[in-house]
Amino acid sequence: MSVRRFVGANSRDVMRQVRETLGDDALIVANRRTEGGVEILAMADEAVDHFEPSPTSPPPPTPAPQIAFSAQDSDPLQAMSERLLREMQEMRELLSQRQPTADAPVSATTDDPIFRLRQHLLSVGFSEELSNEVLAALPTSLAQPDDDSALAMEWLRGQLMARLPVLKEETGFFDQAGIVALVGPTGVGKTTTTAKLAARFVMRHGTRPVALVTTDSFRIGAHEQLRIYARLLDTPMYALDAEQPIDELVGRLQGKQWVIIDTVGMSQRDQRVIEQIAHLQGGQASVRLVLLLNAASQPETLEEVVLRYRQAARAAGAELDDCIITKQDEAGRLAPVLDIVIRHGLRVLFGSYGQRVPEDMAVADPAALIDQALNTPLGRVREGRSSPSASQPHSVSLPRWSRDVLGQGRRLSSVLTRLRERIIGFSALESVWDIASLPGVVQDRRLDALLASEPCADKGLGMAWSPRRNERGCDWSMPDLGLDADGGWLALTSLQHRQPAGWQSRLLRQGETLGAAVHLLPVFPDPATLAWLEAQHLTWITLVAATQRVYCQGERYVLRQLFTDSPLTDHTDLRFRGQTVQLWHTHIAVEDAAGTPLLAWVGEVRDPENGKRIARRYWLTPARLGADVRSLLVIQLQSEGVSSLTKRAWQQLKDADDGEVSTEVRLLMASGIAAAAGHLDIANDDAAIALRSDLLRLLGTTRKRRDTAMLDALVHAFMARDAIRQLSSVSREGLV
């Protein structure tokens, strides 16, 4: 038996016996006072993992006074100690599975999805830093040992794709006039890439608007190589000497809309890198820098290239945020270069994978790049690279605190990118936040221009209309919410006082501008509006009072009376005011005073644990739609929570802006954040779960109510974004 019993006259005596027998690290599992003194059960710490409980030990008895044990009964203290030890063993096993060490045997944790995914990421070349950051958001539903590994891998693939910024489409690069300079170390493929880009531009716009420039006067034949490409493309080529001002060259390029500069290849450790970039940025003309990264280079080299070239750009007062990945066909693994791109927040414009001009280059495709990285054949993974320490660059790195802040910035960027992709109108909401940073005298004018452009036109399914009254305790009315095709809320809401008078005019306008075909109304419409809705065959439901009068089988009833004896037999799960509840409901066929066939509904929101009623609602819906409208009842119920979230956001923003933000701008900011928070709160897909997790990690605290936590996290994300933008506009010389 590994557990031993010690008895002494007092605690000091018995503890002395324990230390003498089992040592200072002995584990005390139980103790009690006896008639003879003190009794302790203890065991050596290392024996916990080998503990085998007694096969005859019964579960611990229920505590009660005056319980006697016969000679044949098991000792309750012994039984309790064995139960505690079993729990300790289970806890140790759980911790060892969730936090495997680098030198732990693979067989000990191969059933843990987090361990498997982490090992896969490390083995193909992703860093430990990025692997831990991504896997920290793995949904609980995918973290079980018996879960489908294919689903977990698909989730991982999506997370990496979301973190990889790319050029959305080729037109975004070639249709923007200006000067582009390709920079990077020697041998990375700048001249060939220059020719590929120029060829693609010529294919789109012809030869007249383009010109090629080289600054490479060091390599023998460098000018001639680019001149051959220029001759083939029928475009002019110019040479820019190291001492020649960039403005002098611009003067010779009158009429050229698109200029691409092939710069001198320099080692990232060459001090002349700073001089070269400063030379490119020294004139009046704006030069866009693009860094070329050789996919076949060592991770440590790539890390150093990115750091040194970005430092040189910042020293020259420029930004270096775009890159092109070259020599993909020569790389045994693509993960290292993608890891560095993601961690440093670079945007990938193109990928190059051969010498043919212009065929061997394509716009960066996140799915293709991540798939190529994750599907690297194991034979290409060099021995020893699967360990965490081997996958981390060591030759040059940022300080630990800088890497932590950079990781926060990556998470913020990733969260905002996914919010733009998921929630319609989120980009427009960001534009509203941008207006709030402008002087007060121009805010309303800028808002007018933004709303006049109808940023969400033809992207919505319908509207969840708010009551035509001020919110309680507020001097503003709740804006109306747009709905997407899945019933989720749009981030840009609709201000009530900017809409025309009368329900029919409002419905018609939203149908024309937003494309709304579904309307969730807060009151029963007047006869003319109801007739118009039916004539247009639109989908609608309306919330009504319990005293609403209807006709059923020729008799007149109020709804409360109509449903007095009606059992609620059907139920639907939903999120309501920050908690998971059930809507129990039923319906009856009725008519209004004009004889329009309708369905009358009653619904009770109940706590699923105790059945307690939280709220009761009544609706009327068109009979022609049948019972399929129950999903709309749920959506309208859920929309009630957005007003309280809007009040919370309004107060936070008012406290932060000191009254310097226009009332309309602040209301759109508050209601938009509330709509986005509600959108995330009610969604239950894996992408939403991961997004919620990342938002809460930005906030840094855990909350009991998910909807208010989402709201606070979104406000924090926007304020962090604004702070970063503000800092980027401050003169760097003033920060030194």
What pLDDT was estimated at residue 219? 52
CA pair distance 726, 720, nearest whole angstrom: 10
Query: Model confidence over 340-351: pLDDT tens digits?
Result: 998 888 889 988
Q: What 3-state DSSP class applies to 532? A: helix
Strand residue runs (E) in 44-197: 178-183
- Domain residues of the chain, as ranges? 4-98, 108-162, 171-376+388-397
Query: Model confidence over 454-500: pLDDT tens digits?
Result: 776 666 789 999 999 999 989 999 999 999 888 899 999 999 999 88
- The answer to whether 669 touches 702, Cβ cutoff 8 Å, is no
Lowest-pLDDT range, 374-388, 531-545, 552-566, 623-637?
Answer: 374-388
Mean pLDDT of the 303-308 span:
86
* Angle subtended by helix axes 706-728 and 686-699, to nearest 10: 60
CA pair distance 680, 557, nearest whole angstrom: 40
Name which residue leads in pLDDT, 126 or 206.
126
- The answer to whether 366 touches 334, Cβ cutoff 8 Å, is no
Mean pLDDT (the chain) is 79
646: nearest Cα among 684, 615, 678, 680: 678
Query: Does domain 171-376+388-397 sit in CATH 3.40.470.10?
Result: no
CB burial string 96-110: b at 16+ within 10 A, e below? bbeebeeeeeeeebe
pLDDT band at 448 (very low <50, low <70, confident <90, very high): very high
pLDDT band at 103 (very low <50, low <70, confident <90, very high): very low
Q: At residue 202, what is the residue type?
A: V
The contacts of residue 617 (CB under 8 Å, 6+ apart) are 543, 602, 603, 605, 633, 637
Residue 358: is the preceding peptide bond cis (ω within 30°)?
A: yes
For 511, other C-beta atoms within 10 Å of its C-beta total 16
CA pair distance 303, 300, nearest whole angstrom: 5
